[in-house]
Amino acid sequence: MNPVLKKSLKIVLELVIYVGIFGGLLWGLPKGLSNYLKTPYPMAAITSGSMWPALAQGDLVFIRGEQTKETIAVGDVVVWRGEDGKGFVIHRVIEMREDTFITKGDANFTDDEPVGYEQLVGKAIALKNGKLFHIPYLGTVTTFASKQLQ
Amino acid sequence: MADTPNQNTAPSVAKAMEGKPVEPSFAKATEGKPNAKATEGKPKRGFAGWWQKTTGEPLKLRDKIVLVVFAVVFLFVFYVSLDANKYPALVRVIAGEGAVGVNPTDRALDFGDLAQGTSAVRRVDIQNGTFMPVYVLVWETGSIAELMDVDKKAFRLGAHEGTKIEFSTYIPASAAVESKFNGRVYLFKIPTFGL
């Protein structure tokens, strides 16, 4: 085979492999996480400082889905969805009632309005020492990327 | 032994030993065109010599280009780092509602003593006294960086223009009383070279 053609084919093949790996990661990782953590929203980017110092702006946290009144407790950091279905909030549970629970951002002075259990999306994954598992700055990247894709 | 011509000797030298005049050819060999092989083995001086000694290979044109590019980038980064404005930044959390201590200095981004839920703003004037537009990058480091907001993090400043950068620090409810947050703020001014 012509050496130039052979080299070109090799470059194309490498390119296809790299694109395949990148695409696989981009598509497969969220899909895999989604299945493993049992939620359509396995990751959350922190866009405000309301949970500082536990979570800083730009952090990326992982969310475990299928949470109910029985599986969450006061002190847990949970993600809930607004009544209009838009927008997510990640705050700490400070009080649990019969039909609702109340959350508050660690850095906030005021509590959030009561939230129905049906609005619960999931619970932030914590390490054994109780600290939340988060990846600093990665949330900024994902937020930026999602804004560009919109 | 002295009369025996060395087989490795150049023909012209051999001829000289036979008694024939050889001066012109001998002079040509030594003065006119130097023997390439003879000069190749000669150790080079300076950087090229050091390079050859270290790497075992002579300095090639490609290496020279890479080294020059590297040196230019290094000098550029060095200049920008040296030219950057550096300010220490600090704040102390105090007890009380809405209490704002007065302790600012003009040498640092000193936010003084702030109670939870309060904030303070400090401004920095920046002037570009050069004829070249610069790209200004603001970089905050240290624990105060998480509490501090900057109104302009990256912007272009035209020639002989000036602007104000506003730094605001807010103390959230989760900040422990008597805790201190400090860090540094760097203002990098990168020449745009008309880009």
pLDDT of residue A141: 83
Q: Is residue B153 one of the residues assigned to a domain? A: yes
CB contacts, 8 Å: A107 with chain B: 172-175
Residue type, B158: G
pLDDT, tens digit, 9 for 90 and up, residues B74-121: 999 999 999 898 999 999 998 877 666 655 556 788 888 999 999 999
pTM above 0.90, yes or no: no
Express as a percent the part of chain B with pLDDT over 90: 48
Q: Do residues B180 and B100 share a domain?
A: yes
- Average pLDDT of the residues of chain B: 79
- Report CB contact under 8 Å: B172, A52: yes
Q: Do residues B97 and B166 share a domain?
A: yes
A52 touches chain B (CB under 8 A): yes
- Report CB contact under 8 Å: B173, A106: yes
Residue B115 sits in which domain range?
Answer: 85-191
CA distance A127 to chain B (A): 21
- CB of B173 within 8 A of CB of A107? yes
* Structure-token pair, residue B91: 């704040």
Q: Does pLDDT of B3 surpass 60?
A: no
pLDDT of residue A134: 94
The domain tally of chain B equals 2
Q: Do residues B92 and B184 share a domain?
A: yes
Query: 3-class secondary structure for chain B?
Result: CCCCCCCCCCHHHHHHHCCCCCHHHHHHHHHHCCCHHHHHCCCCCHHHHHHHHHHCCCCCHHHHHHHHHHHHHHHHHHHHHHHCEEEEEEEEEECCCCCECCCCCCCCEEEEEEECCCEEEEEEEEECCCCCCEEEEEEEEEHHHHCEEECCCEEEECCCCEEEEEEEEECCCCCCCCCEEEEEEEEEEEECCCC
pLDDT, tens digit, 9 for 90 and up, residues B4-53: 444 444 444 444 444 444 444 444 444 444 444 444 556 677 888 888 88
- Report CB contact under 8 Å: B146, A109: no
CA distance B146 to chain A (A): 7
| Nearest CB partner across the interface for B173, out of A54, A57, A107 | A107
Q: Do residues B92 and B176 share a domain?
A: yes
pLDDT of residue B104: 53
pLDDT of residue B106: 63
Low-confidence spans in chain A with pLDDT less than 70: 148-150
Q: Is residue B71 one of the residues assigned to a domain? A: yes
Q: Is residue B186 one of the residues assigned to a domain? A: yes
Q: ipTM for the complex? A: 0.70
Strands B85-94 and B109-115: what pairing? parallel
**Bridge partners of A132?**
A126
